[in-house]
């Protein structure tokens, strides 16, 4: 019996990230959601990851394996923040990616397990795709893309 290949490109969880060139080593830019056709800006890595997490929670995809922990008892206070409400309408989409930009990535989070994300990241300008096993590894790949001659263990040239 032949098994059918499962498509792991889950459309709702695919985002395009454009990083601005910044000298202070803090990632700044915009995240575009293909599902909502909207984007949001971020001025540091935490804002980017937090915004994407809100997006995934709103969509329910990919499903989180763990419930987020907090210092406060949130069971008494329901907190609902729709990602769509935090996003801007603008003309930022994959068809309009300018090829001379240095830091454009298409991120497809396929799983949210082990309290992190797993999926693929494509560096658009180099047309290279790499799998990542955690949100931190994804950030390291994005950071390395902005550096030439990096000697980090996680390298784009390892992609096949």
Nearest to 94 by CA among 3, 4, 7, 11: 11
pLDDT of res. 66? 76
Name the β-bridge partners of 18.
30, 104
Lookup result for tokens 């763990």: 66
Question: pTM (2 decimals)?
Answer: 0.71
pLDDT of res. 110? 93
pLDDT of res. 79? 47
User: How far is Cα 108 from Cα 55, in angstroms, rounded to an integer?
Assistant: 13
3-10 contacts: CB < 8 A, separation 24 or more? 8/108, 8/110, 9/108, 10/61, 10/62, 10/108, 10/109, 10/110
pLDDT of res. 96? 46
Q: What is the mean pLDDT of each run of 10 residues along the chain (160 residues)?
A: 42 87 80 88 93 88 78 59 57 45 87 91 94 95 76 59
Torsion angles phi and psi, residue 22, rounded to 5: -130, 140
pLDDT of res. 5? 39
Question: CA 25, 17, 108, 153: dihedral to nearest 10 degrees?
Answer: -20
Check: CB of residue 119 under 8 Å from CB of residue 132.
yes
User: How far is Cα 94 from Cα 32, in angstroms, rounded to an integer?
Assistant: 9
pLDDT of res. 81? 52
User: How far is Cα 106 from Cα 31, in angstroms, rounded to an integer?
Assistant: 10
pLDDT of res. 2? 42
């Amino acid at each position: 019996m032949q098994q059918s290949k499962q498509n792991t490109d889950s459309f709702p969880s695919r985002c395009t990230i454009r990083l601005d060139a910044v000298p202070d080593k803090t990632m700044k830019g915009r995240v575009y959601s293909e599902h909502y056709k909207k984007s949001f800006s971020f001025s540091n890595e935490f804002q980017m990851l937090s915004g994407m997490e809100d997006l995934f929670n709103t969509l329910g995809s990919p499903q989180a394996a763990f419930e987020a922990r907090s210092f406060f008892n949130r069971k008494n206070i329901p907190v609902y923040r729709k990602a769509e409400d935090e996003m801007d309408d603008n003309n930022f989409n994959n068809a309009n990616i300018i090829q001379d930009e240095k830091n454009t990535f298409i991120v497809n989070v396929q799983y949210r397990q082990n309290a992190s994300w797993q999926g693929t990241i494509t560096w658009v300008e180099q047309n290279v795709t790499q799998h990542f096993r955690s949100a931190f590894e994804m950030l390291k790949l994005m950071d390395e893309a902005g550096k030439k001659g990096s000697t980090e263990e996680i390298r784009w040239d390892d992609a096949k």
